[in-house]
Structure 1
Amino acid sequence: MPGAAEKRLELQKILDKLKLFCASSLGQDLVDKMDFLRERQIIEARLEETTEAVNALKIYSDIPLGGLRDIRDAVSRVNRGGVLEPEDLLAVSDTLRCARKLKLFLQRMEEGLFPRLKGLGLGIIPQPGIEEKINISIGEDGEVRDSASPGLARIRRQISDLQLGIRERLNAIIRSSEMQKYLQENLVTMRGNRYVIPVKAESKGKITGLIHDQSSTGATVYIEPYSVLELNNELNRKRAEEKNEIERILRHLSAEIGFRSAEIAQTLEILAYIDLIAAKGKLSTDMDGCAPRLTSDGSLYIRDGRHPLIPKDKVVPISVPLGRDFNIIVVTGPNTGGKTVALKTVGLLCVMAQYGLHIPAHPSSELAVFEQVFVDIGDEQSIEQSLSTFSSHMKNIVDFLPKVNSRALVLLDELGAGTDPTEGSALAMAILDYLLKRECRCVATTHYSELKSYA
């Protein structure tokens, strides 16, 4: 989760954009769990995964993740002995089909170019048997198919035959010239899962049978003639058998999934992770990103870096070397001259890389691996604490100064501003002196002439 520095640099907007490229809520959940990485090997691995995704998108146009659904709750339920509804089973089938197709896609990818993606594919365990059984048993509309079991098919044939027999008998009644004068309408309808005919209230004694309902006006009663009473009873018995058979089928399918729940859960984790990798590749492609080289001496050189939240046709690229000839850069210029944007660009690109994301910069760009990033930027005035802009900035800076070391990146916007220029300049110089001794990497902006001369 983004910390204070990431929030000030608006990393969340980048992560929100990343979510839009995810194919499922599974990938989006992993975006929410992304964190600032500090180990060089892990960062390099994440960047390499992103690079593989970019290359895959170039060669194959897409990474097939269609049908990926969040079935974690369904897998958990069957693992505890629960029974899934048809809609849940369809979601499981869709996801298993996605897993099967993705594994085949990864197996067919060109050797040598995608070692990390192909390695992830080895952990995907297809379940073609379960997938096929669900597809045979459950229709796209969520109805359990006749093909789910011979017993269900037989019961449904019996139900169909009974319905036909009941309708034939009732149609014979409503076609009878003698009976038509007693009917409100010449039709067969249903009341309480039983076939009935609409009879005029004043003629209800003319047709022997059971009254199941009447109209809101009382003008019509719905009668089940005795001639179809036993057929209706048999029909309801068969419907109960159908319901029991459907429940048995759902229990059986759920048990099959439960038996393989550990393998399915493992596959689901891998699918979610590949969804995240693919999204990172799409984000990189969208912003013309690249994987920076990670240095081992704490230096960085951003070449033609662009702020990723500024439209491409309006952004001004910047190049920033830091950590070799000098550890601190003081950026000067007039207000609205782009100092803060430059500062944010440096910080955001460094943080993005340590989240495993490509950065919008020249491919020859180099970045350090920082343990911490400290940022004082924008108007942090606190009304609740009755702090002035200057005081709130100073409080923020004083809070993080003791934590600064040689593996920290410090970003200070308008250092010393908001108070008497002479005092502000002196304080700013003292802070920069302290940071210089701590051997951190620092970028500070200012419009104080005294600070320009000091730098």
Structure 2
Amino acid sequence: MNAKGIQTLEYDKIKHRLATYVQTEMGQKLVAQLQPSSNIDEVNHWLAQTSDGADVFRLKGGIPLATLVNIKPYLKRLEIEASLNAKELAAVGKVLRATSEVKSFLRQLASEELKLEQLYQLGDQLETLPAVSKELLVAIEGDGHVTDEASPLLKSLRQQISVTESTIREKLADYTQGKAAKYLSNAVVTIRNDRYVIPVKAEYRGQFGGVVHDQSSSGATLFVEPQVIVTLNNRLKQQQAAEKEEIRRILRELSQKLAPYTKELAQNAQLLGQLDFINAKARYAHDLKATLPLVSSANDVYLRQVWHPLLDQKTAVRNDIAIGKDYQAIVITGPNTGGKTITLKTLGLVQLMGQSGLFIPAFEESRIGVFSNIFADIGDEQSIEQSLSTFSSHMTNIVEILANLDERSLVLFDELGAGTDPQEGAALAISILDAVGAKGAYVVATTHYPELKAYGYERPETINASMEFDEKTLKPTYRLLIGIPGRSNALDISLRLGLDPSIVTAAKQLTSQDSQDLNQMIADLVSKRHDAEENAIEFKQKLRAAKKLHQELSSNFEAYLKQKEHLLETAKKEANEIVAQAQVKADEIISDLRQLRLAGGQNIKENELMDAKGQLNALEQPLHLQKNKVLRRAKAKKDFHPNDDVLVKSYGQRGVLLAKVGNHAWEVQLGILKMKIDEADLEKITAAQAEPKQKNVVVRSSKTSHVSPNLDLRGKRYEEAMTEVDRYIDAVLLAGYGSVTIVHGKGTGALRQGITSYLQANSAVKRFEFAPPNAGGNGATIVYFK
């Protein structure tokens, strides 16, 4: 990429800002090496990494990375079998710990099914080396201190050193705190030449014996090692030497263990630097409020509400800039200080950012191209030393640009042709633009020459543009108007400054009306095109959302069909199991009937047959229709009402509903009998199903009936006893008994009173009375039926 253009567009300032977000030396190196690419695959790859980083930053606050130094020089020393010092090993250990933390973090993101295009691939390349990492963590602290746990010998030596130092201080305390303190210039213990000493007044040097290691600058104080601690100091020196030797051995051993993994460690450091770089790009994009650009292989650039990244976001004016689709050349005209130059720099710098894999300061759905080179001739580059005028310096730069551009280049000219005779300058500007167009390159040029306005209309794939000017305030708005040539606004400005209105009116009459009408027409077309671009982006977003919704609905419907089929299969299996069980039960009942027929012949009673039939009918499984609207409506037609004809399924007999008793039970008239029947045992009979004549129910009494003529309720609770009485009365009526005895006992009388009330309300009871005294008295009741 053209170095001069990059410098002119202030690309390095973007890199300096990006560098403030980096935490590792490897990341700093990547920022320093950052250059825009002209390879579309590489640009897309870089942008995908930044997009991953932005997603992680938004959801998790970024990839967890500590401050790391560049360990590459240390690894080179390991490769030549040199040993690293403690701080260097600590730096390698931090890289290994960071590797484990990042790998674990990315593994957690994967388990949460966060979709990332590039980060998982980088994470897979990290090598954790757990065994070596653990040893380093135990032996070396983050600041390079070798811990006591590095080896048992080191721990023992440090304990010995501590004991020796404590003994020395105790000995010296006798001098600093005892009677000998008067011989000291200061009652403190200090160190000289790595040996413990005390400050002694020069005139008392002979009081302590030992060795003099140093003296004060005035000579009044001597630093003396008393004779009593010379041996202790010697021992301390030996122990400290042994400690240093053990530390060197530990560092040498750890270095040897790391040496086989220099390639893995170098790769880890590089990958962590790259992840740090991605983190930095994401954080910078967040603070800049930048967005991911689309990349056009056809160099169809459309920047929506783009602003210059080095300006304050709150005050920077946003503009729509488009080039490449309908035109490859833009000629911007208009007065000075209107924002033409900043517009050129914005386009160039934003393109450089996008081609470097950075998010751009523009609204979403913006498009960038991938240019082979971006040339810029912006600003006054006159040089006194080189004897170059403004015109000459510009022309020198333009000559170099024309010599190096191709059909995929973007060229930015500021004040093209300025600095010389206006007529010649305009002609030269037109020729230069034609030369750029002949090579098929993309060009944006600013100029004051009115001749270039006509050039924008006449040349194919070329359009005029200008910077908006507020006629009321006579100030520029810095907004770019594509398709509208710039106006000098000299007449309006002159009028507001006090020029005679008649002079201004005369000047306006000399201005072509056709030119004014054309400007208005072009302005309308540009406005409509902008609206169309915005609508297209909105429709694309809605279409994408609709497709996503359709895909989700299709997926859910397919899952529903599979679940429905599975439930049907399960229901069929369960139904088959129920049928099989019912068949077995039915076979048992039929077998019992056969045994009764063989045993009793014609003596099989009607109630026995009714009970057997009731058992068969009970095998039927009721359907649950609550969730099916169609079945609910069908069930509603079978709701029971008083006077409905019903079939009592357990007895196989028809009857008439009298009244509802309880939530799910009815009183049913069966011939001369009135019985309480559960709804589940009833089936409604329609008029068409009812027979013209109901056959009489024949009930025969028999001493061989299985129903006992006596019912004993003693010891039972009230509710249980009353339920049993109700069932017993129904059974004896079906058996044809004329009378029965109910034994309820005397007790509190509550059960006797309840039975009495029940018998009084039962229409099948003719009369009832207490049993004779010799048969239980008022502890039993004899019941007579009609």
Range 439-448 or range 232-241, more displaced: 232-241
TM-score by length of 2: 0.55
Equivalent residue, structure 2, for 1:160 = 162
TM-score (norm 1): 0.92
| Corresponding position of 1:12 | 12
* Local SS of the residue matching 1:212: strand
Distance 1:225 1:380 in 2: 78
Match of 2:750 in 1: none
- CA change 1:79–1:420 in 2 (3 A) is same
Residue equivalent to 2:325: 324
Contact conserved, 2:2 with 2:374, CA < 8 A, in 1?
no
Return the index of the structure with the highest Cα Rg.
2
Residue 287 of structure 2 is aligned to residue 286 of structure 1: yes
- 1:298: how far off? 3.0
Q: Which residue of 2 aligns with 1:415?
A: 416
> 1:238–1:388: structure 2 CA closer, same or farther, 3 Å change rule?
same
Counterpart position of 2:700? none
Cα pair distance change 1:392/1:181, threshold 3 Å: closer
How far off is 1:191 after superposition? Answer: 3.3
Residues 149, 340 of structure 1: CA spacing in aligned structure 2 closer, same or farther, 3 A cutoff? same
Matches for 1:220-369 after TM superposition, within 5 Å: 220-369=221-370
Instruction: Supply the distance in 2 between the matched residues of 1:69 and 1:431 (Cα, whole angstroms).
Output: 51
2:372 is the alignment partner of 1:371: yes
Distance 2:190 2:403 in 1: 83
In structure 1, runs of 5+ residues without a counterpart are none
Cα distance in 2 for residues equivalent to 1:376 and 1:216: 68
Deviation of 1:175 after TM superposition, in Å, equals: 6.5
- Contact kept? 1:2, 1:11, Cα under 8 Å: no
Aligned residue in 1 for 2:36: 36
Within the candidate set 89, 94, 114, 2:116 is matched to 114
Deviation of the 1:103 alpha carbon: 1.1
Q: C-alpha deviations, 1:57-99, integer Å up to 9, x for none?
A: 1111222112333222222223323333322233222222222
Separation in 2, partners of 1:334, 1:391 = 23
Judge conservation of contact 2:157–2:239 (CA < 8 Å) in 1: yes
- Relative to structure 1, the CA distance from residue 124 to residue 184 in structure 2 (aligned partners, 3 Å threshold; closer, same or farther) is same
**Whole-Å separation in 2 of the counterparts to 1:243 and 1:4:** 56
Deviations 1:267-309 (A, max 9, x none): 0000111111111111222222222222232322222221111
User: Looking at both structures, which has the greater relative contact order when contacts are Cα pairs under 8 Å and sequence separation is at least 6?
Assistant: 1
Amino acid in structure 2 at the alignment position of 1:14: I
CA shift, 1:173, in A, is: 6.1
Tell me, yes or no, if the aligned pair for 1:5 and 1:375 is still in contact at 8 Å.
yes
Is 1:71 the counterpart of 2:81? The answer is no
2:2·2:373 contact (CA, 8 Å) conserved in 1?
no
State the distance in 2 between where 1:206 and 1:288 align.
Answer: 78
User: Hey, what's the Cα distance between the residues in 1 that align with 2:177 and 2:392?
Assistant: 94
Distance 1:386 1:318 in 2: 39
**Matching residue of 2:25:** 25
Unaligned runs of 5+ in 2: 457-786
Query: What letter matches 1:101 in structure 2?
Result: E
Partners of 1:67 and 1:97 within 8 A in 2: no
Paired amino acid for 1:29: K
- Taking only aligned residues, the RMSD between alpha carbons, in angstroms, comes to 2.3
Is the 2:23–2:68 Cα contact (8 Å) retained in structure 1? yes
3-state SS of paired residue (2:118): helix
Give the distance between the partners of 2:365 and 2:139, measured in 1 at CA: 56
Distance (Å, rounded) in 2 between the aligned partners of 1:356 and 1:380: 31
Q: 1:130: how far off?
A: 3.2
1:223 & 1:213 partners in 2: Cα distance? Answer: 8
> Comparing 249-258 with 267-276, which one deviates more in the overlay?
249-258
Distance in structure 2 (CA, Å) of the matches to 1:321 and 1:366: 9
CA offsets per residue over residues 339-371 of structure 1, 9 Å max, x none? Answer: 111111111122211111111122222222211
Mean CA deviation greater in 210-219 or 378-387: 210-219
Rate the CA distance shift 1:204–1:419 in 2: closer, same or farther, 3 A.
closer
| Contact kept in structure 2, 1:134 and 1:253, CA below 8 Å | yes
- Answer whether contact 1:43 1:355 (CA < 8 A) is retained: yes
Per-residue deviation, 1:150: 0.8
Distance of aligned partners of 1:155 and 1:343 in 2 relative to their CA distance in 1, 3 Å threshold: same
**Aligned amino acid, residue 105 of structure 1:** F
Alpha carbons of 1:317 and 1:237: their partners in 2 closer, same or farther (altered >3 Å)? same
One-letter code of the match for 1:345? T
For 2:106, the aligned partner's letter is L
Does the Cα contact within 8 Å between 1:299 and 1:368 map onto a contact in 2? yes
Query: 1:438: which partner in 2?
Result: 439
Percent identity of equivalent pairs: 42
